[in-house]
Structure 1
Amino acid sequence: MTVRLLLISPPAGRALREARFDDGTPLAPADLTRAREAAPELPPYERLLTAPSARCRQTAGVFGRDAVEVPELAGLDAGRWRGRPLAEVSAAEPDAVAAWLSDPAAAPHGGESVRELCARVTGWLESAGGGRTLAVVEPEIVRALVLTALNAPGSAFWRIDVPPLTATELTGRAGRWNVRVGRAL
């Protein structure tokens, strides 16, 4: 059965604007307003899924129906870097940040590597049901699913930009995917 999966990245939120690792900070009222303004641009869907982060759950809530939270769609576990500004971590641990950004198997923060994240979401995608599904997920989940769909190497992970409130569509089935990226809502 063909899968139509529309991945929506949530509004930027405070952590992204401050260039720090997400720590679960909820969206500001202005971010929620942007999500409400984008909602009419969404195509019809049969299921609404959400990553467990606060900003994904809040964004999905704005879209009007009860969303099903999917643990496998959680954002990258940044371990001990969680909540810290990237500039601070880069100054304190330049070699660790360089390794994290260049080696998909590296997890110097004690959390999850890009390779582990990609394996997690690939497993989820292979078991995703058919029909039209809208999933509100963090940008790194969009990156990982695009890599999976294109059978691209993990080294391409940081080369994919996922702006806030954009849609990336995957259509197909396990082993054969088409990708449409970055449509603004």
Structure 2
Amino acid sequence: MTVQVMLISPALNAALREARFDGDAPLDASGERRARAASGALPAADRHVYGPSVRCTGTAEALGLHADPEPSLRCWDLGRWGGQRLAEVSTDEPGAVSAWLSDPASAPHGGESLLDLCARVGGWLDSVQRGHVDGGRVLGVAEPAVVRAAIVHALDLPPQTFWRLDVAPLTLTELSGGSGRWNLRSGRPLSTAADLA
């Protein structure tokens, strides 16, 4: 039977607007308003989960999801870079940023490497597939990096592909599959332009 894993990227907050690493902060007023407007566009699911970040938690609440936290969907651990702007880190540590962007095993920040992130998220994705032998639909709210890692794992893409994937706020990424094979449908917005006015 086919399993569906549907991941929603969370709404905006100030840290995302400022391009901060792991800027885990509550949704701003605009992000919360947009998430509430999108609540009517959610697909049906048998199970609801969310990454335990403040932003994912706030998005799940604003969407009206009665969901459980899923530790495997937590933010990418970027160690000492957490909360800093990419521009600042690039200026202060250009060699470290270059290594991080070019070597998937590199973790100059002291947190998780890209390979570690993809393995963690991939392990969860595989466990969902194994645990739903009779099919099932899982809907979750997960940070964009987690969604990108899920795509890389599901499609067995080279890890460097991660950097070429964009995941916009409040979009739905759908993975469906069975027997270790996944198909992808990505980037569907949860609300229309009229909802966001």
**TM-superposed deviation, 1:149:** 1.2
The percent of aligned pairs where both chains have the same amino acid is 56
Question: What amino acid maps onto 1:82 in structure 2?
Answer: G
**TM-superposed deviation, 1:113:** 0.4
Question: 2: distance between equivalents of 1:39 and 1:162?
Answer: 19
Question: What amino acid maps onto 1:91 in structure 2?
Answer: T
144, 151, 154: which one aligns with 1:149: 154
Question: What amino acid maps onto 1:96 in structure 2?
Answer: A
**Aligned residue for 2:16?**
16
**TM-superposed deviation, 1:174:** 4.7
* SS, match of residue 140 in structure 2: strand
Tell me the alpha carbon deviations over residues 64-118 of structure 1, each in whole angstroms, 9 at most, x when there is no partner.
2321101111111010001111111000000101111111111000000000000
Paired positions, count: 185
**Aligned residue for 1:68?**
68
Structure 1 stretches of 5 or more lacking a match?
none
**C-alpha RMSD of matched pairs (Å):** 1.1
8 Å CA contact 1:48–1:60 kept in 2: the answer is: no
* SS, match of residue 175 in structure 2: strand
Tell me the alpha carbon deviations over residues 24-60 of structure 1, each in whole angstroms, 9 at most, x when there is no partner.
2111122111001111111111111000100101111
**Aligned residue for 1:87?**
87
Q: TM-score, normalised by structure 2?
A: 0.91
8 Å CA contact 2:24–2:55 kept in 1: the answer is: yes
Q: TM-score, normalised by structure 1?
A: 0.96
Tell me the alpha carbon deviations over residues 125-170 of structure 1, each in whole angstroms, 9 at most, x when there is no partner.
1111331111100001111111111110101111000011100000
8 Å CA contact 2:48–2:139 kept in 1: the answer is: yes
**Aligned residue for 1:183?**
188
**Aligned residue for 2:194?**
none
**Aligned residue for 1:107?**
107
